[in-house]
Structure 1
Amino acid sequence: MSLKQGIGSAEYLVKRVPKNVKYQHIKSKLDTGCSLTKYMEKVEYMKSNYRYKKDEIFKRLKVTTFAQLILQVASVSEHNLSLSECELNTPEDALSVASEELESLTVRSAERQDARDIHTARSTLLSVINGTGELSVEQSPDPESSLDSDRPYPDCPYLLLDVRHRDQYDSCHIISAHSFPATFLHRTMNPYTKEVLEYKNAPGKIIIVYDEDEHIASQAATIMCQRGFENLFMLSGGLKVLSQKFPGSLVSGPLPPVCVSSSDSVRGRRVSPPSGHTRAEQRWRFTADELNHLTVQLEEVLLPSNNSSRMSSRISSVSSQSARSRQSSSSCSSRPWR
């Protein structure tokens, strides 16, 4: 006589715990290694934030690499500026510069007085002939100063281009980015600006294009690579991934609704998109607070990928220290007592 009776019901083995949407964004801090769930989450993240294609002819630039590039360029420019200030603050140089300035001022004052008498009569004659007003030599803009003001840093190794529409650039863009709508590429005459022509295939310089979600930037990068741009990169993920990795550090102005929803859904927050049209501040350089904030965020982003290596290095250092202590104890025990 056999007894075919189990303990409990088999339905409890199949039944799953219902999920609560309120705590869906909370995850465990314990890393249990690779799993199918983590792999599927990574695949979904790649599909929602990136647009990879098999026939891409342009190169991609990671957001973390772009942040490291910004920090390096800012540190190098600050170092060069401090060196130039130290050179000018030396006593011998200060005396020589002061003496040269005094001599130049005396010579210039005499030359300007003579030039004013000649230039006033000539400028009035030319203004009558050409139909323009008098031109002031003293107030004429310096081409070198205007050229430097158009760049984020002197001799900057990268040129950041926003290929979205001009209105979208005015509302929100990355600091130090130039507006270069993708519609410029369809022009028959002069499709490129002077900055693009200066950086095109220049040694030691690159061009970076970006948009919100790689939809426009991938097309623009493909066209420019087909036209001979060899140093062109596309910012992988665009503003969408940039707002997730480094919120509030690299962007000027309120983020677009696509970037706001994607970045806040990861953290489990609900933030309404910005209302009204606000113009973003156009700046070519980052402030010290923004650079410090970016450094902290970059360390937080790069730490999870290096946890295993750091743990292994710590284990190896602890094992080496223990081995050294054992060797020292054995050598002390082997020595004869005196």
Structure 2
Amino acid sequence: MYIGKNPSPLTVTEKRVRRNPKYAHVKGHLDTGASSSKVKLMSTKEFLKRRSEIFKRIRPSEVARLISSDFTLSYPNANSIIDEENPELEQKSMESDSECMLLLDMRTREEYEACHIKQAKHFSIVGLHQDRYIPELYRFKNVESKMIVVYDEDEKLAAEAATSLNQKGYENIRLMTGL
């Protein structure tokens, strides 16, 4: 028989904890924080479609389809000669019927004058922030059959403009993506 010191009582940290059968399936997991192995690479599409956006997006192919369908609907006889008696009246009626979309070019004036979509109107972000709207914006505001499409080269100004317009009550805003 061993004769020696009596074993000292165990401290709180040394005592074994009884296992509760209710939590037997739970395993321990240590999260060490951010690391390079946890970084998720985002594709361009995931980056462009953020949950926080309050406007919708539209592809350039859809815009082109809408422009071409407007042209064929409002000009069924595009090759025929306009009525000789009232050419201005007929031209104005054709233009008003064909407008189902307002294209706003958010680039600088120089870039707009160098190259732009034929139906697009120049609209600067400065004018938007100063509440200087073009008259077409008021005509297109929240009309169910019409939409306002904004675009620029890298979608930064256009996204800002679409957000700002949506916050100011324009609900039929679209951002053209994929230029």
Match for residue 56 of structure 1 among 53, 58, 72: 53
Question: How many Å apart are 1:225 and its aligned residue?
Answer: 0.3
TM-score by length of 2: 0.63
- Once residues 81 and 46 of structure 1 are traced to their aligned partners in structure 2, the CA distance between those partners, rounded to angstroms, is 39
Aligned equivalents of 2:143 and 2:77: distance in 1? 22
State the partner residue of 1:171. Answer: 114
Q: Which residue of 1 aligns with 2:20?
A: none
In 2 relative to 1, CA 51–45 (structure 1 residues): closer, same or farther, beyond 3 Å?
Answer: closer
Q: Residue 154 of structure 1 aligns to which amino acid in structure 2?
A: S
In structure 2, the residue corresponding to 1:153 is in which secondary structure?
A: helix
Compute the displacement of 1:153 (Å).
Answer: 3.5
Aligned to 1:204: 145
**Counterparts of residues 206-285 of structure 1 (less than 5 Å):** 206-237=147-178, 241=179
**Residues in 1 aligned to 2:139 and 2:77: alpha-carbon distance in whole angstroms:** 23
SS of structure 2 residue aligned to 1:164: coil
Normalising by structure 1, we get a TM-score of 0.35
The letter of the residue matching 2:45 is: M
- CA deviation vs aligned residue, 1:40-91 (integer Å, no higher than 9, x gap): xxx75537xx633220000111122111111111111221667996xx79xx
In 2, distance between residues paired with 1:76 and 1:232? 23
CA distance 1:224–1:169, shift in 2 (3 Å) = same
Equivalent residue runs for 1:40-119 within 5 Å = 44=43, 46=45, 51-79=48-76
CA contact (8 A) 1:77 1:154 kept: no
| 3-state SS, counterpart of residue 76 of structure 1 | helix
> Could you tell me which residue of structure 2 aligns to residue 101 of structure 1?
none
State the partner residue of 1:36.
Answer: none
The alpha-carbon deviation at position 231 of structure 1 amounts to 1.1
Percent identical: 36
Hey, which of these two has a bigger chunk of helix by percent? 1
Does the C-alpha gap of structure 1 residues 211 and 185 become closer, same or farther in structure 2, counting only changes over 3 Å? same
Gaps of at least 5 residues in structure 1 are: 1-42, 90-96, 98-143, 242-338
Map Cα deviations across residues 95-135 of structure 1 (whole Å, 9 max, x no partner): xx8xxxxxxxxxxxxxxxxxxxxxxxxxxxxxxxxxxxxxx
Question: Cα distance 1:53–1:45, how it changes in 2: closer, same or farther (>3 A)?
Answer: closer
Q: Is the contact between residue 51 and residue 214 of structure 1 (CA under 8 Å) also seen in structure 2? A: no
Residues paired across the two proteins, number: 134
2:33 — aligned with what? none
Question: Which runs of 5 or more structure 2 residues have no equivalent in the other structure?
Answer: 1-41
Given the superposition, is the C-alpha separation of residues 203 and 84 from structure 1 closer, same or farther in structure 2, using an over 3 Å criterion? Answer: farther
How many angstroms apart in 2 are the aligned matches of 1:52 and 1:203? 24
Q: 1:211 to 1:71 in 2, by over 3 A?
A: same
